Amino acid sequence: MPSCSTWRSTGSSACPPPRRRAERHTAMSAVVSVRLARPADARAIAGMSRELIETGLPWRWRPQRVLAAIADPQTSVAVAELQGELAAFGIMEFLDDDAYLSLLAVRSARQRQGLGSALLGWLEASARAAGARRIRLETRRDNAAARSFYNELGFHEVGIRRGRYGAGVDGLLLEKWLQVSRAPSD
Ligand SMILES: CC(C)(COP(=O)(O)OP(=O)(O)OC[C@H]1O[C@@H](n2cnc3c(N)ncnc32)[C@H](O)[C@@H]1OP(=O)(O)O)[C@@H](O)C(=O)NCCC(=O)NCCS
């Protein structure tokens, strides 16, 4: 896990914002804190998943499942707090050499303030520290905000899963390589 847990707008170099443009975000006057989730966060995380990600779908990430993810050593559940409010969360699983970003969401009122970038940056650092070669994720193909967000942060669209979210609603597979494969040495 990355040791940095707090990013201050005025610049702790231990956990910097991922991009300079984040300086334009309105959250710059506040303090964003990213940390591992605690069991007490499970209910809020599950509620955000239902509201922001699983809309119109069966609710799979209920509090019990989130609790299990928090306890799972193969999974990082991270939250971002802004002015004392749990404003965003992300869940990343480590599978073989890959990290799989299962969920990431920012409360509607807190979007476009750099929170998603800060959280994903923290999770990416966590994946690098764990030795992951690649981060993979899936989102709805019609989720223009997520596509723009992930593309902006260096992810590439690599595949489509037709009808993944129901008739006519495709899933989109994205990935970001963290390490280049080494040529075999002799
Ligand atoms: C996608 C999501 C996580 C982005 O989080 P965020 O905190 O708003 O993102 P940031 O403020 O860090 O944005 C970084 C950049 O991503 C792009 N971006 C983010 N939201 C965007 C939007 N709605 N439309 C277009 N581009 C967007 C922009 O380039 C943005 O930089 P800018 O604001 O300087 O233009 C957020 O919109 C969200 O939680 N959506 C609902 C849940 C979801 O769809 N999750 C992803 C699939 S699991």
Helices (H), the chain: 42-48, 63-71, 115-129, 144-152
Q: Which of 54, 137, 149 for mutating ligand 1's site (highest number of atoms within 8 Å of CB)?
A: 149
Q: What angle do CA 165, 167, 171 make, to 5 degrees?
A: 35
Could you read off the pLDDT of 105-130 as tens digits, one per residue?
999 999 999 999 999 999 999 999 99
**Whole-structure pTM value:** 0.87
Of 2.40.50.140, 3.40.630.30, 1.10.260.40, 3.30.70.1450, the CATH number of 6-177 is: 3.40.630.30
Tell me the residue type at 49.
S
Average the pLDDT over each of 21-25, 113-117, 146-150, 162-166 and give the range with the smallest value.
21-25
pLDDT grade, residue 12 (50/70/90)?
very low
Write down the domain spans for the chain.
6-177
Cα of 69 from ligand 1 centre, angstroms: 24
Give the angle 99-105-108 at the CA atoms, nearest 5°: 165
CA pair distance 186, 170, nearest whole angstrom: 44
